Structure 1
Amino acid sequence: MINVVWLRTFCTLVEVGHFTHTAERLHMTQPGVSQHVHKLEAQLGVDLLVREGKRFSLSEAGERLYDHGQAILGSLSNLEQVVSDDPPYTGTVRVMSPGSVGLKLYPQLLALQSEHPGLVMDYRFAPNADVEAAVARQAADIGLMTSKPVSAEVVSQPIAWESLLLVTPASVTDPNWEALMALGFIDHPDGSHHADLLLGANYPEFQHSQLFPKKGFSNQIGLILEPVSLGLGFTVLPAHAVEAFPKPEAICAYPLDHPVSETLYLCTRRDKPLPKRVEMVIARMPRWL
């Protein structure tokens, strides 16, 4: 393999055309320049220069080496720039979160990408456990969770709080215990957890969500309120999911007398330096959420 330092010395000598001036440009001694060229010739087994006293010209092998050597040195220079370059508005940002947070955050990220087309937003909706696992194995740059992570590979900080809301059909004017029992529960992946938090803080009769007749289930965050809007049952959801529902006139949302909020944690991989584009997105998230 050709020594890059010797190659750079040779190409500079060809460009400058003088051993002394080449030594000055490279901050070397003149014998050092000559030594690099001799080592390169010995390694390749050819004469690169045709020496005529203090002057020289290129041999045919020297011309070929100079042509290809310039391209190699140029590529190495570009490689250094590519490796060290860390632009804040170029590259992919991988984000994962539960669905309700995604309904709030994803449109903001798309608006940012529209402003800076060099960005690529890779957004995945997933439950807390999957978000934590993805951040730990470096499959996601940013994770948002509604529970504090337990993995040693993940570091987190509280970034926002999201209210839980009781959601009934618009026809319900008094969400008392009897009305909820008559309606029945529209369940979802976090339904029992959300019901335990909000209903447990507001209804003395509440023990667990299985007390209610089960009237449906959906794991699609954008569809959970569809059966509620049709009068088929009630549910408990984070506020962002309720705000995103396209038919607000068909539902009623109640924070209840004792409001309950979930803490939203921003999670990243521990001890991994963040690219500037990821830092830029993280800096904007508090005002989006």
Structure 2
Amino acid sequence: MINQKWLCTFMDLVETGHFTKTANNLYMTQPGVSQHIKKLEIQLKTQLLHRYDKQFELTRAGQLLHQYGLASFKLNKQLKSQINFDDPYTGLCSIACSGAIAIDLYPDFIDYQALHKGLKVELEAAPNQSIIKGVLENTVHIGIINQQVQHPQLALQKLGNEPLLLILPATYATKTLDFDSLNELGFINHPDGFEFVDKVMNANQFSGYMGSDSLTISGYVNQLSQILLPVAKGIGYTVLPERAVKQFNHPEALHIPVLSQVVNDPLYIITKRHSALALRYQWFIDKMQQRLC
């Protein structure tokens, strides 16, 4: 790599055309200027100046170095300008959250992106652990999760609470609600299924429930929009956030029993603790707080 101090001396010398003027500009001695040029020539293993009668002309190598210096200084100037200017309407916005929240937020995000073409919005629907991993690995800059995390590299900001609902087929509205009858029906699992059902079962003290190993599984669905379909068809039951139920097109096919203990799932914004977010993320954070608090 070319020594930047020597390069600055060379560039000033080309501009002034005089060793004494360059020495004055850079608060150096004239022999100091000559030494910088000599060191550059040694580093590049070529002559940069043809000296004659206290004047000089650039060699071909000197001309190429001058062009390089101009381009380098221009790039440095552009970089400083970009560093000092944080455009709120340009750049990648990488966000991850649950499928239910993604469906709720995405229309607003797309409307905003349509107004600001320089933005690129990447919204991923993912379970908690994938979101946490993405934030830690810098592939996700903002996440929304429903669990507290103790990690020195992560910062959490409480958004609010979201009720978790036990959801059965409508035909079960008049049936006895206990763990045996639920297990006979079977659980429709999903990426957050075991976590959600565990919270609801424990809070309401369903006798016989001994963790996920005690569940009869009737199926697994990865796509949020499809999770309630087997429930509506009478194939099983599940547990989901309230907003996921509100987004389902056939609520008449579902039964939501009233439980003795309402389980509120906390929501947190998760970010990298020691990594400042670009200004463009502030609108998205404000929108999350508006919609989810």
TM-score (norm 2): 0.74
C-alpha displacement of 1:34: 4.7
Structure 1 alignment gaps of length 5 or more: none
Are the aligned partners of 2:144 and 2:270 in contact in 1 as well (CA < 8 Å)?
Answer: yes
Aligned-partner residue type, residue 114 of structure 1 = A
Residue 264 of structure 2 aligns with which residue? 261
Residues 244 and 18 of structure 1, relative CA distance in 2, 3 Å threshold = farther
Residue 194 of structure 1 aligns with which residue? 196
Are the aligned partners of 1:181 and 1:213 in contact in 2 as well (CA < 8 Å)?
Answer: no
Residues 49 and 111 of structure 1, relative CA distance in 2, 3 Å threshold = farther
Aligned-partner residue type, residue 243 of structure 1 = K
Q: Which moved more, 1:98-107 or 1:204-213?
A: 204-213
Are the aligned partners of 1:97 and 1:143 in contact in 2 as well (CA < 8 Å)?
Answer: yes
C-alpha displacement of 1:172: 6.5
2:277 alignment partner, SS class: coil
- Name the % identity: 34
C-alpha displacement of 1:248: 3.9
The count of corresponding residues between Structure 1 and Structure 2 is 285
Cα deviation per residue 1:96-143 (whole Å; 9 max; x = unaligned)?
A: 333333332344333333333333333333322333333334443223
Aligned-partner residue type, residue 28 of structure 1 = Y
1:245 alignment partner, SS class: coil
Residues 34 and 205 of structure 1, relative CA distance in 2, 3 Å threshold = closer
Residues 229 and 64 of structure 1, relative CA distance in 2, 3 Å threshold = same
Q: Does 1:134 align with 2:98?
A: no
Are the aligned partners of 2:49 and 2:56 in contact in 1 as well (CA < 8 Å)?
Answer: no
Residue 3 of structure 1 aligns with which residue? 3
Map 1:91-130; keep pairs closer than 5 Å: 91-130=91-130
Cα deviation per residue 1:78-108 (whole Å; 9 max; x = unaligned)?
A: 4555566644333333333333333323443
Query: Structure 1 CA distance, aligned partners of 2:48 and 2:98?
Result: 67
Aligned-partner residue type, residue 11 of structure 2 = C
2:225 alignment partner, SS class: coil
Residue 244 of structure 1 aligns with which residue? 247
Residue 52 of structure 1 aligns with which residue? 53
Are the aligned partners of 1:167 and 1:253 in contact in 2 as well (CA < 8 Å)?
Answer: yes
Aligned-partner residue type, residue 14 of structure 2 = V
Are the aligned partners of 1:185 and 1:215 in contact in 2 as well (CA < 8 Å)?
Answer: yes
Are the aligned partners of 2:46 and 2:61 in contact in 1 as well (CA < 8 Å)?
Answer: no
Residues 13 and 184 of structure 1, relative CA distance in 2, 3 Å threshold = same
Are the aligned partners of 2:187 and 2:215 in contact in 1 as well (CA < 8 Å)?
Answer: no
Are the aligned partners of 1:41 and 1:48 in contact in 2 as well (CA < 8 Å)?
Answer: no
C-alpha displacement of 1:149: 1.6
Query: Structure 1 CA distance, aligned partners of 2:198 and 2:60?
Result: 83
Are the aligned partners of 1:200 and 1:206 in contact in 2 as well (CA < 8 Å)?
Answer: no
Q: Which moved more, 1:219-228 or 1:11-20?
A: 11-20
CA RMSD of aligned residues (A): 3.8
2:158 alignment partner, SS class: strand
Are the aligned partners of 1:94 and 1:142 in contact in 2 as well (CA < 8 Å)?
Answer: yes
Residue 73 of structure 1 aligns with which residue? 73
Q: Which moved more, 1:89-98 or 1:167-176?
A: 167-176
Residues 154 and 61 of structure 1, relative CA distance in 2, 3 Å threshold = closer
Query: Structure 2 CA distance, aligned partners of 1:196 and 1:38?
Result: 75
Are the aligned partners of 1:185 and 1:234 in contact in 2 as well (CA < 8 Å)?
Answer: yes
